[in-house]
Amino acid sequence: MLSARIRIAARLLAVAALAALTAGCFQPMYAERNDGTPGLREKLMGVELPPISKPNASREARVGVEIRNALAFKLYGSATGMPPTHRLDIRFTTSRSSLIVSTATGLPTSENLGIDAQYNLIDVATGKSVVTGSTFSRVSYDMPGSYQRFSRTRAVRDAEDRAANEIAENITTRLASFFTAGT
């Protein structure tokens, strides 16, 4: 009985010693650096966001602007970007699918909106691609009655805005990982 308690105490002591050894290794991702190298915030502010190419006055053009604006806010915050060190090129497609169709009217009452995006981060100095990836977002929304056209249009637009924000969040997270870990 006593030897079991000693073994448990020894194991707890070993875990505590290992935790103490690695305690200084942790550094918050967005923390300021004291060694003179730029922090993550400064690196993200060096990402240039060119306009996303979509046909003018199309629904996808509005979604592209929404994605770009959400990315700019997440990368730069309330400030503007710094001189660009990297350029982020984005391509995307959207899709809509009906989930529930009313038997009385034959119109959808619930739909899914999807955005599939591909992004490419290019080092401005060398012109080489440093990060490529893809992400997606699927959001559902309810369509009010068949006679409420404005409400239906607004529901689609809100879903597009939520999906665009999710795409921007996914890309920002991936860029933060690249600038922090280098991979």
Q: What is the CATH number of the domain that holds 55?
A: 3.30.160.150
Ordered alpha helix ranges (H), 23-79: 40-45, 59-76
Strand, helix or coil at 182?
A: coil
In a domain? residue 28: no
Q: Is residue 52 part of a domain?
A: yes
Sequence letter at residue 124: V
- Is 121 part of any domain? yes
pTM score over 0.85: no
Question: How much is the pLDDT for 42?
Answer: 85
Calpha distance 183→130 (Å, rounded): 9
**pLDDT in the model for residue 64:** 96
Instruction: Tell me if 162 is assigned to some domain.
Output: yes
Of residues 95, 128, 101, 129, the one with CA closest to residue 113: 95
Q: Give the domain extent around 111.
A: 39-181
pLDDT of residue 2: 62
Predicted confidence at residue 140, as pLDDT, reads: 92
Tell me the pLDDT band of 129, cut-offs 50, 70 and 90: very high
Measured CA to CA, the distance from residue 52 to residue 60 in angstroms comes to 10
CA separation, residue 42 to residues 16, 63, 98, 105, 152 (Å): 36, 27, 43, 54, 41
Confidence of residue 24 (pLDDT cuts 50, 70, 90): low
Q: Which residue has the higher pLDDT, 144 or 171?
A: 171
pLDDT the model gives residue 168:
97
Does residue 16 belong to any structural domain of this protein? no
Average pLDDT over the chain reads 86
Range with lowest mean pLDDT among 58-67, 72-81, 86-95: 72-81
**In this model, does residue 94 exceed pLDDT 80?**
yes
> Quick one: average pLDDT of 96-118?
86
Is 87 inside a domain boundary? yes
pLDDT on residue 131: 96
Residue 18 lies in a domain: no
Max mean pLDDT among 28-32, 72-76, 108-112, 113-117 falls in 113-117
Domain total of the chain = 1
Q: Give percent of the chain with pLDDT exceeding 70.
A: 84
Q: Is the pLDDT of residue 88 over 80?
A: yes
Q: Is residue 59 part of a domain?
A: yes
Q: Among 148, 167, 86, which residue's Cα sits nearest to residue 121?
A: 86
